[in-house]
Chains A and B, each alone.
Chain A
Amino acid sequence: MGHHVIKLPDVGEGVAEAELVEWLVEDGQNVREDDVLASVMTDKATVEIPSPVEGKVIWRGATIGEIVAVGAPIIRLEVDGEGNATDTDTEIEAAKPAKEEKHQPEPKQIVSNGAIASETQGTAPVQPKVKGANTPPQAAPSGTMRAEGEAPLASPAVRKRAMDNGVDLRRVPGSGPAGRITHEDLDAYFQNPSPSVSGGRAPDTSVLETQVIGMRRKIAEKMATSKSRIPHITYVEEIDVTALEELRRKLNAERGERAKLTFLPFLMRAMARAISEQPQLNALFDDDAGIIRQYGGMHMGVAAQTDNGLLVPVIRHVEARGLWECASEVARLAEAARLGRCSRDELTGSTITITSLGAMGGIVTTPVINYPEVAIVGVNKMQTLPRWDGTQFIPRKVMNLSSSFDHRVIDGWDAAVFVQKIKSLLETPATIFIED
């Protein structure tokens, strides 16, 4: 019998570490070749780690939520034959704390019902757990176990007290043996009549702790980086999209087999036109190095809410795509994101971002820039509102664009010019398509 040590493989170009998000095997479990042992998550993708050999799991080198360096041993199997292990267990164990120290200097954030509590190390159980510090002890299951039609179990004194106070004992959970209702249970009921049955209001003092791991942690880190490093300036302007909507309706009516046009392809094309005049907005600001990289190609991230969390698939080279091409690419990536099938390349490399919540878009948002980009355009909801045309109020379809800019490198004037250009293009949609 020998030991086979599996190390975290290189899971992507330039990836030095990955977060362990799931164990699919237990200690002592027998695994066959190609059985999936664990899932790790890199910046954008989740990668499954298969077993290269058949054997029995005897050691797992990371807990869920832990950041593991590429090349670090993560699992040890007992195998027939010699195995590949030359190092000793002690070496593995000794290597671990240093690694943890390096990659987890900051305490983990635990979201606890609105309040933020911190926990020191990432060894806590992953499953959400309810801490019932203040929950009354009589919330016992026995109360609900009473069979239908069965009389509640209580001493005659408790029954009399309940009757005198107009309490139906069937509604009182019993904490005693066999679900017996005690005087203390009645006390508790008087304090806080059972919410589940009476339908009344009751304070819920439970605290649900969920360890922030995986995608959520990525999002949290990204948002924190963006907001802490970038001084945002947000600029909101109203766009009259009556003409654009008319055009969109016509084009969709005649689209045939092509993907349906949403508002997004028009916005993308308008932004491409605006950026051709203000290319400094299509850039990444490497603030550590103090370098702004202005890109010729316009790679537009489109923030999308999926079941797996917030994803930002990237439509590459919008400057080179027509309206319909933009539409089909948006549709394709949206579907891929929804199914969790986006490749790493499809989720990285954006130079500017659009964020839209559609009908949920509100009237104003303050979008958070997709660091290290310098601009993000947020789409608010479209509505029909009265607007003054000089002689009368007329109904117009209007929507706001809420756009944020990195104020370190983009001046307010430039931001305003950019948005006004987009407004001009969208309000007179023909100009989007007129060649210079």
Chain B
Amino acid sequence: MQNLSCKLLVIGAGPGGYVCAIRAGQLGVDTIIVEATADGGTCLNVGCIPSKALIHVANEYEKANHFAAGSPIGIEVSAPAIDLKKTVSWKDGIVSRLTGGVGALLKKNKVRSVRGRATFVDGKTVTVTGNDEQTTIRAENVVIATGSLPVELPFLPFGGDVISSTEALDLQQVPEHIAIVGAGYIGLEMGTAFAKIGAKVSIVEATDRILPTYDSELTKPVAKRLKALGVDVHLSTKATGAKDGALQIDGPDGAMSIPASKILVTVGRRPSTEGWGRENLVLDMDGPFIKIDEKCRTAMSGIYAIGDVTGEPMLAHRAMAQGEMVAEIIAGHPRQWDKRAIPAICFTDPEIVSAGMSPAEAEAAGYDVETAIFPFAANGRAMTMESEAGFVRAVARKGDHLIVGLQAVGGGVAELSASFGLAIEMGATLEDVAGTIHAHPTQGEALQEAALRTLGAALHI
């Protein structure tokens, strides 16, 4: 039994928690961070990073296959093979480098790490149950950064061949046939990757379109690519259960079953609000999430919450920004949430990136907007990369031309999220983007051209 005390206790060392702790340490706040499993949370261990590793491998493998089939660009290879076990081990290497890096950063900034499962005793006291000992920590401030978990369907409980994204990232061999329930970004990213490494992929989606949170203009190139990859997409279809190595579904064509050696359920994530003593606190909730204000304060004084546990969008970079902000608040700085945009990316093929509002969202928010797209088919760099699908879209307020949204779909457009976010966060107008020299030849030129085109002055179309 160990007793510790600190000014700041962070529960959960995911992207929100560890960033909060690092910043707090930099600001001289006496900080302890508690993590039950590995530093880095979902993002580093079983989310963003490993999935991107798998997607990269799938893309490379698919490219090699493409060359083997005879490519127009003059590269010839013999039939490639993939050793998924080796892939996963390479991926694990990246994960451990990153999580190790997190641990080192925490240490460097004098943050004390306590391994174990935290449970609130009261608003200022937490007990941490580790492998062999129990620690009681008294803290002036506590940050809840417990993250989220994959949603489980009652008729498809996880276990055996019914897996979540966590297990999907650790498969030792390519499944012959994988059925994916849910055509959100996780399901589509995984589905695309598995299709590229040779699995037969079927995707079942209850609504009538893929990626329901994005508009159809953006998702159309993705749907087209899925079809080209041979992925079966069943829209307006419900999964009803699993039986005899098959997923049972019920859709417009009636009830049927899809043969599936693995069933991947990606119907969303739920906040991790149980198992850490929430019942010993008096927190206001916002639906399933912990309710927070613009300073990430909960209903209890001295208790903050950040990240997925506080609501949508459940994205690592939102959690990081919240964590940084809360650390500064606890260090005594006046801060509050004032971000204009939280960019979101689907690492599908092609990729989708969105910052700010879509045209429909802007109109729903009461803006009178003007919008234009610039297609990558008219972008020289895209042509040289055999990646002409997609476009960049600008959404601006009529009158003062304030950019309220930027979206793109296309190969490698995830990297455009930086300039999209910067433009919106800086309050750029169309003229600002149009007047910025964008290096040639890059895909980024499409952003400048989209701004120009919205102004009615595109040069290359």
Contacts and interface: CB of A to CB of B under 8 A. Distances in A.
B221 to A, nearest CB: 31
- Most chain B CB inside 10 Å of its own CB: which residue of A155, A164, A178: A178
A179 interface: yes
A117 interface: no
Interface in B370-428: 397, 400-402, 425-427
Contacts of B340: 151
Interface residues of B, number: 17
B334 interface: yes
B364 to A, nearest CB: 15
Given A154-B427, A156-B425, A178 B402 contact: yes
A164 B333 CA distance: 7
A197 to B, nearest CB: 19
A264 B178 CA distance: 107
A252 to B, nearest CB: 65
Interface residues of A, number: 16
Contacts of B301: none
A180 interface: yes
Contacts of B336: 163
Interface in A167-212: 176-180
A155 B424 CA distance: 9
B429 interface: yes
Nearest to A182: B427
A333 B402 CA distance: 62
Interface string A133-172: 0000000001000010001011110010001101000000
Contacts of A176: 427
Contacts of A178: 397, 400-402, 427, 429
A179 B427 CA distance: 9
A156 B340 CA distance: 9
B338 interface: yes
B297 to A, nearest CB: 16
B228 to A, nearest CB: 41
Contacts of B400: 142, 177-179
B431 interface: yes
Given A153-B402, A177-B400, A166 B426 contact: no
Contacts of A180: 427
A166 B427 contact: no
Nearest to B334: A163
A151 B366 CA distance: 14
A151 B338 CA distance: 8
B402 A155 contact: no
Nearest to A147: B366
A153 B428 CA distance: 9
A178 B401 CA distance: 7
A153 B339 CA distance: 11
B335 interface: yes
Contacts of B401: 177-178
B436 to A, nearest CB: 13
B76 interface: no
Majority secondary structure of chain B interface residues (helix, strand, loop or mixed) = loop
A236 to B, nearest CB: 64
A302 B317 CA distance: 81
A134 B410 CA distance: 52
A177 B432 contact: yes
Nearest to A156: B425
Contacts of A179: 400
A419 to B, nearest CB: 70
Nearest to B333: A164
A32 to B, nearest CB: 42
Contacts of A177: 400-402, 427, 429, 431-432
A434 to B, nearest CB: 81
A142 B432 CA distance: 18
B341 to A, nearest CB: 11
A238 B401 CA distance: 72
A397 to B, nearest CB: 65
Contacts of B338: 151, 159, 163
Contacts of B366: 147
Contacts of A153: 402, 427
A155 B427 contact: yes
A153 B400 CA distance: 12
Contacts of A151: 338, 340
Interface in B35-78: none
Interface in A71-123: none
B427 A164 contact: no
A332 B126 CA distance: 91
B418 to A, nearest CB: 14
Given A151-B340, A178-B402, A163 B335 contact: yes
B425 to A, nearest CB: 6
- Most chain A CB inside 10 Å of its own CB: which residue of B338, B366, B427, B432: B427
A179 B428 CA distance: 11
A143 to B, nearest CB: 13
A156 B336 CA distance: 12
A163 B366 CA distance: 28
A166 B425 contact: no
Nearest to B432: A177
Contacts of A163: 333-336, 338
Contacts of B432: 177
Interface string B318-341: 000000000000000111101010
A163 B334 CA distance: 6
A155 B425 contact: yes
Given A177-B400, A177-B432, A155 B426 contact: yes
B26 to A, nearest CB: 16
A180 B334 CA distance: 22
- Most chain A CB inside 10 Å of its own CB: which residue of B366, B401, B402, B426: B426
B333 to A, nearest CB: 7
A177 B432 CA distance: 9
A147 B367 CA distance: 10
A153 B427 CA distance: 6
A196 B182 CA distance: 54
Interface in B127-185: none
Given A163-B333, A163-B335, 13 more contacts: A147-B366, A153-B427, A155-B427, A163-B334, A164-B333, A176-B427, A177-B400, A177-B427, A177-B432, A178-B397, A178-B400, A178-B402, A179-B400
10 contacts: A147-B366, A151-B340, A153-B402, A159-B338, A163-B335, A177-B400, A177-B432, A178-B400, A178-B402, A178-B429
Interface of B: 333-336, 338, 340, 366, 397, 400-402, 425-427, 429, 431-432
4 nearest A-B pairs in the assembled complex, by CB-CB distance? A178-B402, A178-B400, A153-B427, A180-B427
